[in-house]
Every structure is written in structure tokens, then in C-alpha cells.
Structure 1
Amino acid sequence: MAELTEVVVPDLATDPEDVRRPFRGLVRRPGFVVPAVLVLVLMIIALLPGPVAGLFGHGDPTVCDLGSSGDPPRAGHPFGFDIQGCDLYANVVYGTRSSLAVGVLTTVLALALALVIGLVAGLIGGWADFLLSRLTDIFLGFPFLLGAIVVLNSVGQRSVLTVSMTLALFGWPTMARLVRGSVRSVRGADYVLAAHTMGLGWWRVVTRYILPGAVAPVLVVATITVGGVIVAESSLTYLGIGLQAPAISWGLQLSDASDQFQNAPHLLWFPSLFLAVTVLSIISLGDTLRAALDPKQRS
């Protein structure tokens, strides 16, 4: 997660129309369209795992036959079978839901917390800015994975919600700093001062003029964070600290396959392939957003 701090924040202290204009050209960028289509397909798989899993097999990840334990792919089972004799294709498809759910939910929770803290610190300033900035520094001092390991080891049932809340607890500081910096640069813009002069309410000025400019740069980090969180969840689950059975996730599948790679390499290939494609697609989206929002790279 440390690499997220390297994202360049463009100067958005201009008219709100300048904030929205870069997004209109994204649909013409292959670097956006291709990963966006892949992410859309993965979202469909996550929302409708049953029908997708039934396209090439029986579609039930809980129907197992120990006699087929570790068998390679064959007709009706394109990914083969896991150690319990369950259809690996169905398990990988259903694992998409858990992995994406943790990534998206964690990012939404962290972004919501970052927006509140960043807006308050950036708008009020003074003692509020000082206290919230020191709080952000404290959380930035915790290693992301180490902090998650300590918290998850102290909880009981580790579900999607529990893991997401824990990762969000350590994932908001970078975004909060970006929001604070963006708010401080936008709040003194001419169009914001003009809105105050016209007598617009505080809430309308914040939501219509300040918030769009503050959210734009943090969307880049939020997008990349989804991919980083999916990797973090898979790593924690692989170590036995993340999601627990009967949950189905790529991390659990990778953990089960690690001891069987020489005898049944397909157990590791397919979950790894889905994990890699998902993370690369999401990070590519974030990189394209960064390029679109960076004034130095606009044509």
C-alpha cells in the first residue's frame, strides 16, 4: 500500500467544468476501455455466480466427490477438481464475489472516512486540522498488513464485513491527506468565493463546488486501492488470518493449493489467473484515471 502515496495530485483549483472534462475522453482510451470491460465482466460474475458457474458445469461449488480429488480439467469441469473433489471452476467463480466484495467494501468505507476527515480538516483548519492531521500520521505509522494481522487475530469470526472493516481501518489515511490537500487548494478558488458572495448556503457550496474538486484526485487512489485490498485479502487469507471457511475466496483456494502444486498445478493456476487479471485491470483503470487528471499529460 505504500506506493499509493506516489500518486500525483493535479491542481484542480479551477472551474468545476475543468474537473469533469478529463473524464469525457476516457472512453476513447484503450487503456481504459479494455480493463473497464474486464472489470465489468468480473462484476457480472460476482453478482451472478450461479448462472456463470452453470455455463460450463453443474455450477455448485459445494457438490464434491472425493474420488475426483485433484483431477485435472475434463468435460463439464474446465478447471478440474480441488482436493475435496469439488468443481474448481465453480469455486473460482464464487470466489470472485468474496474477493471483489472485500475490495470494494473496504475502499468505500475507507473513502467515506477519508472524505469526512479530509473535508473537516481542510475546511475548518486550525485546531481541527492539527488534531486530524496528527491522527492521520498515527495511522500512517502502522504497517498496513501488520496492523490488519494484529486486529484480525483478536476477532472471532472473520467474514467479508469483518475483514473489510479491518482493512478500511488502516486504508484511509492516504486518501484523507489527498482530500485535505485538495480541499485547501479548492476552497480559495474564485468560483468558490463567488458562490459565497452570491449567498449560496454552506452545504450547497461544499457539495456543488468544493467536493467535486476534492473527490477527483482521490478517485485515482481509491481505484488503485481496490486492487491493493484484493491482494491484501488474498495474502491474509493465504496466511490463515483472512476469510475463513465456509467462505469461498481466491486466497483460500491458493492456500489449499500451495501444498499440491507439484501433483495438481491447476489448483494454483486458475485462482492465480483470476486474481492477477482482476488486480491488473483495476490498477490499469487507476493509472488511466491518473493520466486523465494530470494536466501535464493532457493533449
Structure 2
Amino acid sequence: MSDPSAASIVSTPRPEQPTEFGAPTNAGLPESARKEKPRGLLGDAWRDLRRKPLFWISSALILLFVVMAAFPSLFTSGDAVNGSLDNSLGKPSAHAWFGNDVQGRDVFARTIYGARASILVALLSVAGTMLVGGVMGIISGYRGGWVDSLLSRVADVFFGLPFVLGAIVILTTFNGSGSNNSKTKIMGLVIASLVILSWPVVMRLMRSSVLATREADYIVAARALGAGTGRIILKHLLPNCLAPLLVYSTIMVGSFIGAEATLSFLGVGLKSPVVSWGIMISEAQNYLRVAPNLLFFPAAFLVTAVLSFVMLGEAVREALDPKLR
């Protein structure tokens, strides 16, 4: 006959034995914590972002605008270019939710299709600015010496150019009232003007990040092991210098949406028959008293889009900066 006390001793799990250093390696830790891998900067940032309602709200709005720009037919079946003069300055109704403009065109359809040009110009401008400014900043910060001095002085020259005035000069020179440029060329000129006047800021951010990172221990070790300049930049410097650029690029998308609208409103940016929020606001200024809906709806979409990107940039900045957590 077996002893119950002996059975209980056998069935009781034994505590984890200490290691040769005196303490158990995973004592007291739950199973999930034992299997959890260490997170890096982006992992910690994503964990922090998931807890922020501001991040999810701004991301949802940005996703809505991106889908609206890519597939406008999902939101409206109206014609954004052609209209009937019989519906000139029509009030909002079931057939035209935002009313009709002076040429009888559906304002709702034009607002939906206007997201495409505004967001496309902003995204391409940010991509070009990041590419030009990032490359210049890496070269300037990593090489140093006379290369750094030369590129910094060139950036100072562009810093001295007022943004709006510089864009007006560039676009008036190459896209004047007498020119007959295609839609693609006009959009390319607007993007080029935004890139030319904005890359010095990105160059300064990248240069400062490279200067703070290039003498780190892992960079010195990689250099001592014989790693080439290209490998050091791509594998070590670039991944550790992208955090401030990621934040700034998100905010800059919203700024460029507003900049495109400003240039189009002044008559030097995008022009009809291109549909954009800036063009709609420019066309509505003469009818503000008789038809305020022509100005209110595209302006509301413009402000919401800009605020969405700015809020997302602020949320990302707080997540990537340990001091703000």
C-alpha cells in the first residue's frame, strides 16, 4: 500500500534550481515573459503608439484620405470636371451634397477628386526632399572637413530664401501665364519648387544625427573590422538616424498639402483643369457671400488632412523620444 505523503512529494513540482552564479535564471517570471524577445527602438515606439487614441484617430483619417485619393470613384459617381450652367451656384441637395459651383459642377465630386492632386504633390515632394536632404546630410556629416563646410554653406544660401517668395519666383518663371504646360509638367514644377526650398532642413537634421552617431562604438568596431563606407552608412548609420526624419517627414506632408493649396490659391501652382483643394478655394473667393459652401467644404477637407498628418507626426515624435513617454 503506497504512502499518500510520498505520492504528494513526487507530484509536487520542484522549484527551479539555481545556476552556478547563485540565482535561477528565470525564477519568478511568467512563461510569456521568458519567451519575449528584447525590443528595439521601433518596437518600443510601436508599443507606445498602440496606446495613444491620437495615433489611431489620425491614422484612420489619413487612411481615409489616401483611399479617397487613390479610388475617388468609391466615394462619388459625379463628374468633377464638367457641369451644367443650369445648376450654377446650386445649393446643397440630395443630388449635389455640397452644392454646385458657378459652372454647375458638383462640389462634392470636386472635393473628393481634389484629394488626389493635393496628397500626391505632398507625398512626392516629401519623398524628393527626404532623398536630396538625406543624401546631402549623410555626406556632410560622415565626411566632415571641407565637404561639410561646402554643403553647409550651400544649405545656408537656400535657408535665406523665403519659402513662399522663392516658390512664386520659380513657378512664375517656368509656369507663367503665357505658358501652355501639361498637367504632369505643372505638377512636376510644383514638386520641384517644394523640394528645392525644403531640402536644407532635412539636410541639417540628418547631418546632426550622423555627427552624433558616427563615433559610436559599433561604428568604430565595424570600421576596425574592415567594413566599407557604403556598408557602414547603409547598415549602421542610416537605420539609427531615421527617427527624427520619420517624425519630420510625417509633419511635412501636412505642411506641403497646405503649401500646394497656398500656391494654387495665388495662381502660380496647379491650374485648371486640374482639380485640387487650393484651386477650389481660389475659385470660391469671389462667391463667398452668395455661396459660402464653395469655400467651406474644400477648406474643411484641407484643414482636416493637414491636422491629421501633424497629429500623427506629434504622436510618432512622442513615441520615439524616451524623454516624452
Q: Which has the larger radius of gyration?
A: 2
Partner residue of 1:247?
Answer: 274
Partner residue of 1:102?
Answer: 121
CA distance in 2, matches of 1:197, 1:25: 36
Superposition map of 1:4-15 within 5 A: none
Residue 152 (structure 2) pairs with residue 152 (structure 1): no
Q: Report how far residue 238 of structure 1 moved.
A: 0.7
Residue 50 (structure 2) pairs with residue 27 (structure 1): yes
Q: Alignment RMSD, CA only? A: 1.6
User: Percent of pairs identical after alignment?
Assistant: 40
Which stretches in structure 1 are left out of the alignment for 5+ residues?
1-15
Partner residue of 2:161?
Answer: 142
> CA contact under 8 A between 1:82 and 1:88: conserved in structure 2?
yes
Give the number of aligned pairs: 280
CA distance in 2, matches of 1:111, 1:127: 23
> CA contact under 8 A between 2:41 and 2:320: conserved in structure 1?
no
> CA contact under 8 A between 2:206 and 2:245: conserved in structure 1?
yes
Superposition map of 1:36-185 within 5 A: 36-54=59-77, 59-156=78-175, 157=181, 159-185=186-212
Q: In terms of mean alpha carbon deviation, does 179-188 or 217-226 score higher?
A: 217-226
Rate the CA distance shift 1:206–1:20 in 2: closer, same or farther, 3 A.
farther
CA distance in 2, matches of 1:129, 1:123: 8
> CA contact under 8 A between 1:95 and 1:249: conserved in structure 2?
yes
* Deviations 1:76-125, CA, capped at 9 Å, x for gaps: 21111111100111101110000001111111101100111000001100
Q: Report how far residue 187 of structure 1 moved.
A: 0.9
Partner residue of 1:4?
Answer: none
> CA contact under 8 A between 2:247 and 2:317: conserved in structure 1?
yes
CA distance in 2, matches of 1:78, 1:86: 12
CA distance in 1, matches of 2:246, 2:62: 16
CA distance in 2, matches of 1:107, 1:25: 25
Q: In terms of mean alpha carbon deviation, does 214-223 or 20-29 score higher?
A: 20-29
Question: Which residue identity lines up with residue 173 of structure 2 in the other structure?
Answer: S
> CA contact under 8 A between 1:19 and 1:213: conserved in structure 2?
no
Q: In terms of mean alpha carbon deviation, does 133-142 or 216-225 score higher?
A: 216-225
* Moved beyond 4 Å, runs of 4+: none
Determine which of 192, 197, 201 is the counterpart of 2:224: 197
| TM-score under structure 2 length normalisation | 0.83
Question: Which residue identity lines up with residue 96 of structure 2 in the other structure?
Answer: H
> CA contact under 8 A between 1:19 and 1:212: conserved in structure 2?
no
CA distance in 1, matches of 2:157, 2:172: 21
Determine which of 234, 259, 275 is the counterpart of 2:302: 275
Q: Report how far residue 272 of structure 1 moved.
A: 0.6
CA distance in 2, matches of 1:255, 1:122: 43
Higher relative contact order (CA 8 A, sep 6+): 1
- Provide the secondary structure at the position in 2 that maps to 1:170: helix
Residue 229 (structure 2) pairs with residue 230 (structure 1): no
* Deviations 1:135-190, CA, capped at 9 Å, x for gaps: 11110110111100000000133622210111111011111100000001111111
Rate the CA distance shift 1:151–1:36 in 2: closer, same or farther, 3 A.
same
Q: Report how far residue 206 of structure 1 moved.
A: 1.3
> CA contact under 8 A between 2:91 and 2:100: conserved in structure 1?
yes
CA distance in 1, matches of 2:187, 2:119: 10
